[in-house]
Structure 1
Amino acid sequence: MRDRVRTIVGSLNLLPVPVDGLSDQDNLFDAGMTSFGSVQLMMAIEEEFDIEFPNSLLTRKTFATLGGLIAAVEQLVSEKV
């Protein structure tokens, strides 16, 4: 799942730096992601994993790091089963 999320982030060209150079704890907004980019990312992840982010997870904190985003996706996928 981690690799799929990283691939999505990289494929959307949301950052001026390569995703491979970021750790799971690096702040994506500090790396150059915009709020519009986070919406694009959310939509791509929802489509890829057939999930929907609830309002409670639509926060800057959820999308701030790859680690936080991956944890949210893992939670939503596990709840879907």
Structure 2
Amino acid sequence: METQVRAILQERSGLGEAVQGIGIHESLWLLGMTSLASVEVMLALEAAFGFEFPESRLRHATFATIFNIMRCIRELTESSVR
């Protein structure tokens, strides 16, 4: 999952290849990701993982770090399997 998330971030976040070298807890916002780019990331994640982010997850914190993104994907995809 992390490889897929990083690939999407590299393509859609505006951070480019720098995404490959950052820690999973580093702030994507502080590195320069914009709100517009986060929408692009969200749409790409939804397409790649086959789910939609509910409105309750459309928060600054959800897209703040790679860790937060992966945690959210796990929670949403696991709950849809149940």
- Establish whether TM, by shorter chain, passes 0.5: yes
* 1:48 equivalent in structure 2: 48
Which 4+ runs in 1 deviate beyond 2 A?
none
In 2: Cα distance, 1:56 partner to 1:15 partner: 26
**Gap runs ≥5 in structure 2:** none
* 1:20 equivalent in structure 2: 20
Q: Deviations over 1:41-78 (max 9, x none)?
A: 00000011111001111000000111001100111111
* 1:29 equivalent in structure 2: 29
The alignment of Structure 1 onto Structure 2 pairs a total of residues equal to 81
In 1: Cα distance, 2:8 partner to 2:47 partner: 11
Identity of aligned residues (%): 36
The answer on 1:69 being equivalent to 2:69 is yes
SS of the residue corresponding to residue 18 of structure 1 reads: helix
Shift in Å, 1:11: 2.0
User: What TM-score do the two structures reach when normalised by structure 1?
Assistant: 0.92
In 1: Cα distance, 2:65 partner to 2:32 partner: 12
In 1: Cα distance, 2:13 partner to 2:25 partner: 19
In 2: Cα distance, 1:72 partner to 1:7 partner: 17
Q: Bigger CA drift: 43-52 or 2-11?
A: 2-11
The answer on 1:9 being equivalent to 2:17 is no
Shift in Å, 1:12: 2.0
User: What TM-score do the two structures reach when normalised by structure 2?
Assistant: 0.91
In 2: Cα distance, 1:75 partner to 1:67 partner: 12
In 2: Cα distance, 1:13 partner to 1:27 partner: 12
